[in-house]
Chains A and B, each alone.
Chain A
Amino acid sequence: MSATTLGAGLLAPARPAAFWPSGWVAGLAWIGAAAAISLLPDADDLGRTQELATLAAGFGGLVLLAALGSTLSGLAPRLARLREAGPWLIVLAAALLAWELATAKYELLPRPFFAAPQSLLEVFTDDYARLGESVWRSLLLVVPGYALGAVIGFLFGVAMGWSRIVGYWAHPVVRLIGPLPATAWLPIAFFAFASSRGASTFLIALASFFPVTVLTWSGVSAVSKAYYDVARTMGASPWFLVRKVAVPAAMPSVFVGLFMGLGASFSVLVVAEMMGVKAGLGWYMQWAQGWAAYANMYAALLVMAGMCSGAVTLLFRLRDRLLSWQKGLVRW
Chain B
Amino acid sequence: MDRFLDISQLSVAFPRAPVPVLREIDLTIRRGEYVAVIGHSGCGKSTLLNVIAGLLPATAGGVVLEGREVEGPGPDRAVVFQNHSLLPWLTCYQNVKLAVDQTLSRTMSRAARHDWVLENLALVRMTHAKDKRPNEISGGMKQRIGIARALAMRPKVLLLDEPFGALDALTRAHLQDQVMEIHAQRGTTVVMITHDVDEAVLLADRIVMLTNGPNARIGEVLEVELPRPRDRLALAADPRFVAARSAVLEFLHARHANPALAAA
Contact = CB atoms under 8 A, between A and B. Distances in A.
B78 interface: yes
A325 B102 contact: no
A164 B74 CA distance: 24
Contacts of A231: 102
Given A235-B103, A325-B89, A230 B74 contact: no
Interface residues of A, number: 21
Interface string A240-277: 10001100110100000000000000000000000000
Interface stretch (B80-88, B110-118, B181-189, B210-218): B80-88
A226 B81 contact: yes
Nearest to A236: B102
Given A232-B55, A233-B55, A234-B153, A244 B81 contact: no
Interface string B54-84: 1100000000000000001111011101010
B195 interface: no
Nearest to A226: B85
A235 B153 CA distance: 10
Given A226-B83, A244-B98, A233 B73 contact: yes
9 contacts: A226-B81, A227-B85, A229-B79, A229-B85, A230-B87, A233-B73, A234-B99, A235-B73, A327-B135
A227 B149 CA distance: 13
Contact of A325 (B77, B79, B83, B133): B133
Nearest to A251: B89
B10 interface: no
A231 to B, nearest CB: 8
B89 A227 contact: no
B124 interface: no
Contacts of B133: 324-325
B53 interface: yes
A112 B33 CA distance: 90
A245 B135 CA distance: 17
A326 B88 contact: yes
A283 B153 CA distance: 61
Which of A229, A234, A244, A245 has the largest count of B CB atoms less than 10 A from its CB?
A234
Given A325-B135, A327-B135, A235 B102 contact: yes
Majority DSSP secondary structure for residues of A touching B: helix
Contact of A233 (B53, B83, B87): B53
A234 B98 contact: yes
A106 to B, nearest CB: 59
Interface in B152-167: 153
Contacts of A227: 85, 87
Contacts of B72: 232
Nearest to A245: B87
Given A229-B81, A234-B75, A240 B89 contact: no
Contacts of B135: 325, 327
A325 B53 contact: no
A173 to B, nearest CB: 31
Contacts of B81: 226, 229-230
Across the A-B interface, the 7 shortest Cβ-Cβ residue pairs: A232-B73, A234-B102, A226-B85, A325-B89, A235-B75, A230-B85, A233-B73
Which of B54, B72, B98 has the largest count of A CB atoms less than 10 A from its CB?
B98
Which of B83, B88, B103 has the largest count of A CB atoms less than 10 A from its CB?
B88
A327 B79 CA distance: 27
Interface string B29-40: 000000000000
Given A229-B81, A234-B99, A234-B102, A248 B73 contact: no
Nearest to B134: A325
A109 B79 CA distance: 74
B47 to A, nearest CB: 13
Interface in A78-126: none
A244 B102 CA distance: 11
B37 to A, nearest CB: 18
Which of A233, A234, A240 has the largest count of B CB atoms less than 10 A from its CB?
A233
Which of A229, A230, A236, A245 has the largest count of B CB atoms less than 10 A from its CB?
A230
A160 to B, nearest CB: 22
Contacts of A230: 79, 81, 85, 87
Contacts of B53: 233
A323 B88 CA distance: 10
B89 A248 contact: yes
B89 A233 contact: no
B76 to A, nearest CB: 9
Which of A244, A248, A325 has the largest count of B CB atoms less than 10 A from its CB?
A325
B74 A235 contact: yes
Interface in B94-148: 98-99, 102-103, 133, 135
Interface string A207-248: 000000000000000000011011111111000100011001
Nearest to B153: A234
B120 to A, nearest CB: 14
Nearest to B95: A230
Contacts of A324: 133
Given A240-B102, A325-B133, A327-B135, A233 B77 contact: yes
A182 to B, nearest CB: 32
Which of B55, B72, B73, B77 has the largest count of A CB atoms less than 10 A from its CB?
B73
A245 B87 CA distance: 8
Given A226-B81, A233-B77, A325-B135, 16 more contacts: A230-B85, A231-B102, A232-B72, A233-B74, A233-B75, A234-B75, A234-B98, A234-B99, A235-B75, A235-B102, A235-B103, A249-B87, A325-B89, A325-B90, A325-B133, A326-B89
